[in-house]
Structure 1
């Protein structure tokens, strides 16, 4: 059984909610259903679960309910558990198959006699068809693939190790050498396996890369099938973009330009084929800014962006078995730049950072830009030994009107400081939490 941080969010919802249902969204196969089941079994006497994608009769019955009384009557008709007020969780899974349930949940919550959790995988795409989402009656928790810390928990790494890592991060001191080497080794495994729960469990239970890759291949095909099912007449273009992500990340520019695919630069949130993948939680967009100045949203260009896959293991799968072999043998003479950057994008997104990058001829390219305490913090990602070569970062720090006071380099290094540049081991990416008092600056 995998330990997930999202479990804390479910417990907090149960403790602090008044009349709100909980909506758990995220990409397919990130572990939403399993986590809700585990939570329900541990915290309720009775759990009623309806999968609205698989149970066609239940879906049709709920979709055609005329009022709240009729809706609850039909829910009870499909229940295989007694409905005991105050002791029952009603779990509606795959609600994208019946999005009007989101509209009606308000009226069920007003009764305040049962708790409701809803879950779905394509809600960012499908929710635009919902008449209205009830404000004040629905809390949302987005789940992601396992982050690196969760991955190490699956490997048996305990909290004492991560407490040591956090102390080093906060104090600006090197991590114990043995711990450092162990976490770097596990990080290379994470780049291969990624954070999809089934892949992680297989990876550690069997030590069989071929079986892990077979699961990853199945997930990639599932995503392609979802595009065919949900993207409508745009499916061909969306699928083409999805298939191009690995090669685009591997080229020198590492970015999509809207007009390169569409022949135009106009973007509409739900008509744009690039953002369909982001709304489906399949891809992670990183937006270009004209200048690396705070606030970044005002400088954002919506027609140029990088697209990373939602799970780094799926990117490595697409790169082929030779890359897997090299990562697992800790070869440092190969450029894994796009794979490392995908892992960083994944970790930062899970920490609620909005992601940006910057590139021009005079400065160079800054891999990521995040905001912290009213300042822009550039992040350079290095996969090789030459992690202290970062001309773009140095150029940005020397540009007075950017207002950049410090920068972070993530790579195969221990904690180190040289002037305004903080060198952090790549496995510390997850400690760069949005809203955190410190981003590892020396005290």
Structure 2
């Protein structure tokens, strides 16, 4: 059990006087239950309920008043009364719609209790089979381990301290940090996989865990689907996603299938709700608001780059090279950067986008764009001469500011660049291991 960044968010929630019952959202096996168990150490009393267990689910199905329900919970758990600061964690809440309904009453009748709920298939059921009380709950999203959490799990304390506390990162740390990020790029951030790797430092030993992890997601397909025919479409979508990740996709015929746009689009959106994939839509915005164009083809991102590498057969190729941007036409490098950018946000409303400008004679595409204060910042994942970043130059020609980011394998540096049309702009060149720290380094660069 290793510390996760979500614990800081949970602690901030716990300290707020206006907090509401918290729904912890995220894909299966990203560590939600483990994180809450670690968080519970801050409390005088901790009650854990798993609603996949019939006895514990039945407590919520008796139509008790909220006062009777609390008494029933404490009686069942052999707790006579509320003792000090008390946390109640309702796990697998998606199995019991009546438990969801009670959340609003916890908020109204027992504001001093700390209530957290989570569920592995929660995302696909929200707004269909279950409805959360509007205005009576709040949300946090949990994702696979980011690179900083990976360093913590491997007990690489000096490397973690340098990334977190020293801006800019000293040059002497570059080679070691690149080597560690290379390992992270290969195995990804699924907690069980990282735990095993931290114990044995053997990538080959992870094969069984990757197999069982992917099979468990495939086995869940029937739970996502409304009928058997839909289950077949979702099963194909899950399997094909690992081969199509990192590219722009079309719903029609996705994964070399005969499925039509409507049914495949529905299947992929179910998987997106389950947070197994992300659909990154293009935007032509160069200033706020950042408006995605959902009529255009999205770029596909899967939950975890380690799973992508294993399923797609890229682990050996990555293992043989130190240049992660040379594998799979650079798509693995782009994918792991996307994973880091997604991990920076815990809001369920957050979406990641890329920039696209299409003209009849030419098109331009920048890998990612993010909103930084009142600016839209372009991020390109590419090694090579800065003069070859043509799409980035085209974005900067249109942008009302002068800041851009390039993520690559080189050292941290700032360049003054002139576009092909003569506009001067400042390019922040970030090494891969700082992809999750881009906002902090933008503040640093602007202050220079």
TM range (shorter): 0.7 to 0.9
CA contact (8 A) 1:30 1:143 kept: yes
- How far off its partner does 1:167 sit? 4.1
**Equivalent residue of 2:189, what SS?**
coil
After superposition, give the CA deviation of every residue in 1:4-52 in whole Å (9 maximum; x if it has no partner): 1111112122211446222212111111111111221x22233221111
Structure 1 residue aligned with 2:420: none
CA contact (8 A) 1:348 1:433 kept: no
Q: Distance in 2 between matches of 1:244 and 1:14?
A: 41
Structure 1 residue aligned with 2:302: 309
When residues 19 and 247 of structure 1 are mapped into structure 2, their CA distance, relative to the original with a 3 A threshold, is closer
When residues 440 and 245 of structure 1 are mapped into structure 2, their CA distance, relative to the original with a 3 A threshold, is farther
Structure 2 residue aligned with 1:415: 412
Quick one: which of 72, 76, 100 aligns to 2:74? Answer: 76
**Equivalent residue of 2:298, what SS?**
strand
**Equivalent residue of 2:291, what SS?**
helix
1:102 aligns with 2:94: no
CA contact (8 A) 2:277 2:303 kept: yes
For 1:31-430, list aligned pairs within 5 A. Answer: 31-40=31-40, 42-53=41-52, 55-109=53-107, 110-129=109-128, 132-158=131-157, 162-163=161-162, 167-169=166-168, 175-233=169-227, 234-249=230-245, 254-261=247-254, 263-264=260-261, 272-289=266-283, 291-295=284-288, 297-320=290-313, 323-332=314-323, 334-336=326-328, 337-352=330-345, 354-359=351-356, 360=358, 362-382=362-382, 389-398=388-397, 400=398, 402-403=399-400, 405-419=402-416, 420=425, 421-430=427-436
CA RMSD of aligned residues (A): 2.8
After superposition, give the CA deviation of every residue in 1:231-281 in whole Å (9 maximum; x if it has no partner): 22222212212212232236xxx11223444534699xxx82222111111
When normalised by structure 1's length, the TM-score is 0.86
When residues 35 and 266 of structure 1 are mapped into structure 2, their CA distance, relative to the original with a 3 A threshold, is closer
Structure 1 residue aligned with 2:20: 20
- How far off its partner does 1:206 sit? 0.9
Q: How many residues align?
A: 423
When residues 81 and 258 of structure 1 are mapped into structure 2, their CA distance, relative to the original with a 3 A threshold, is same
When residues 138 and 299 of structure 1 are mapped into structure 2, their CA distance, relative to the original with a 3 A threshold, is closer
CA contact (8 A) 1:184 1:412 kept: yes
Q: Distance in 2 between matches of 1:275 and 1:423?
A: 34
Structure 1 residue aligned with 2:437: 431
Q: Which moves more between the two structures, 76-85 or 16-25? A: 76-85
CA contact (8 A) 1:288 1:302 kept: no
CA contact (8 A) 2:13 2:19 kept: no
When residues 432 and 153 of structure 1 are mapped into structure 2, their CA distance, relative to the original with a 3 A threshold, is same
CA contact (8 A) 1:278 1:284 kept: yes
When normalised by structure 2's length, the TM-score is 0.85
Name stretches of at least 5 consecutive residues in structure 1 with no aligned partner.
170-174
When residues 350 and 161 of structure 1 are mapped into structure 2, their CA distance, relative to the original with a 3 A threshold, is closer
